[in-house]
Structure 1
Amino acid sequence: MMLILIAALILQIAVLLISPLFKYQWPFSLYYKYVFLPLFQDNDRFRWKFYLVPLFYSSIYLGVVHLAIKNVIPQLSPGLNFFDYWFFIPFFIVLTPATGILAAIIGPETTKSCKRRNIDKFRYDNLLFYPNINCRTCQLPKPARSKHCNVCNQCVLAVDHHCIWINNCVGLGNYLYFYLFLVLNSLSMSYAFIRSMSIVGLKPNIKYPRSILAFNLLTGCFALICIAFTYLQLCMVREGMTTNEKDKWFTIHEYMREKRLVKSSSGKWYYDLTDRLDLPTDQHEFFSTNPYDGRLYRLQSYTLIEDAERINNIYDEGSFMANLRTLCLT
C-alpha cells in the first residue's frame, strides 16, 4: 500500500512539473491552470506554500537531533567528554535553530519602514543604481542597492535575496542573523559528523547499529551542502556585492568583454547596440546602463572600456571584514 501511495505521489509531481510543456492539452491544462500557476507563479495565492520549505528544514533538523539524542549519543557516550556534553552539543542544538528563527522573524529594513540614515547609507554609483527613480511596483523612491521583492511585496534595502529556507528577505537589518544561521549549520553538521566518525573509527571492530550510519550520512551530506552555500555567500561579501548585484555585475562585465561598454566624457555609463540594431558602423547608438531609462543616445565623446580595473565597485570597502560590518551593523 505504501509503495502505491509513493508511486501515485511521484506521478502527480511528474505531471505537475511537465504541465507547462503541454498546457493546452487535457489533463495537463488542468494541472497548469489550477496547480502550477497558483503554486509557482502567483505569489498572492496559496500563501501557505512559502512555509513548506521552512517546515521541511525544521522537520529534517528535528529528525537529526532526535536521532542523535535517542540513538547516537547513548551508543557513543564512552567516547564523549565533558566539553561534548556540556558545551558543544547543547550549544549547537540551541543556537542553530535560534539564529534561524531570528533571521525568519526579524525582517530587513524596507523603504516603507526604515531608519532615515539607512535610506542614504549607500551612494548611487550611476552604473548599477541610479538616483531619482521610483519602484515600478510600490512607486516609492529606490535607494541604492535596494530591490522590490515580489513575495514580500516591498522594496528591501541592500537586499541579497529572498531565502526560501527562512521565508524572509535577507537584507539590511537581518544579515547578521542569516550569516550566523549559515555558519552554525555548517559547524554543527561538521562537528556531529567528524565527532561521530572519530569515535567509530577508534573501535572499527565494534558493530554499531544502522542508526549511526544513517546519522553519519545525514550530517556528512548536510555539512557539505551548508559549507558550500556558506562559502558562496561569504565570497560575495568579500567581493563587496550581494546575490542581487552579482548578476548585474556579470552583465556589465559581459558588455565589456563584448566591447560594448563605454563611458561618456561626462562620466555616465552606456552600452553600444550598433550591430544589434543593424545601423551603419559610423552611427553608434547607445543605451544607458540604467534599466529604467529606455532612451537611445548618440554620444559625441566617449571611451571604450576594455579593462575591468576601470570598472569601480564603490560598495567594496576593500576587505571582507569591512564589507561584513557594513552589511551587519545598521
Structure 2
Amino acid sequence: MPQRKQEVATHIAADFLTRCFAQGETIALLLKRESPSATLQRIVPLERALEPRYLCWLAHENSTGANIYVAANPLRVGSRKRTKESIAEVRHLYIDIDSDGEARIAALRASDAVPAPTAILSTSPNKYQTLWRVEGFDFERQESTLKLLAIAFGGDPACTDCNRVLRVPGFMNCKYVPAHRVTVEYPCDFVSNPDDFHLDIPASDAVLSLRGVARQMRRDKHTHSERDWAWVLHQLAHGKDAANLTHALASRRADKPNPHYYAQRTVDMASARLWMLEGAPINDVITLLEVRRRFEIPAALCYARAREIAETAQRMIARRKIA
C-alpha cells in the first residue's frame, strides 16, 4: 500500500475506533483472509490498537489480502476470546444491509422509528453496515431490537449476536476483485437509549426464521407446521376470512411461544402464495398484506414485513417450478 494511502487508511480507522470505544477498554480485532482461508484474532486495549505502529501493521496485512474487522462491543478486561460471555456491555446496535442498499439506507434515514445512526459504513457497492451508539441496553434487549431493525429495514436477520464483528473503515474489503475501500460517514454523534427506538420490542421474541422452518418441514413431512400450512391453504382456497382463520390457527397452536404471531405469519404467507399463483403482481400482494395488518402491526414494520413475506412466497413458487 503506498505511503500516502496507508496514512489515510490508518487515520480513518483510528478515528472510527476512537469514536466507538473509550480509553482503557478492551477490543477484539479480527483479520480474515479469503484465499487461502485464514483467521487471526487479536484482543488488545484500545490504546494499543491506536498506536501508529499497530495501525501500520493492520494496513500491511490488509494490503496483502486480510479483511480487518472489530467487535461491535468492548470486551471484559482480561478476556482471551470473543465469546458472548466476554462482552463487557452493549455499546452499539447495528444492521447489515446486503441488498437494495441505497433504497434501504434512504428509508432508514427518513424513518421516525429510529434515531439518526452514529455511523454508516459502505462496505461494498450497495452494501452497508449501520451503527447506533447506545446506552441502557442489556444483552436481551439488544438482541430483540436488532431483530426488529433487520425486519424494518431489510437487514440480515442473522446478525443479532452481541459479539458480532464489523468492518473497520479506511481498509479494503478484499472479498471482491478489485478490492473495495470501506468508507464511513457519521450522521450524528448522539448516544441513543431504548426509548429512542420506536419499534415493537415485545414482538421480537416471536420473530421466526422462515428458512429454518422451511428446512424443518423438508426434513419431516409430517410436522405440525406442515399440517397447519396445508389446512390454511385449504381454508383460504375455500373463501375462509383471513382474520377468523388467524384466530382459529392461533387457538389450535397454543403450544407456540407466540401463537398469534405464528398464525398471522402462516396465514399471510399462504395468502401471498395463492394470490401470486392467481397472477397478482408482487406489488399488489405487498399492498394487500400491508392493508390487512395495518391495525395490528406497527407502521414502522408493516410494509417491510409485507414485502419480505411477498418476496419469500415468490421464491417458494419459483423453486417449485424449477423442481
Larger Rg: 1
Same fold, judged at TM 0.5 (above) = no
* Bigger strand fraction: 2
TM-score, length basis structure 2: 0.22
TM-score, length basis structure 1: 0.21
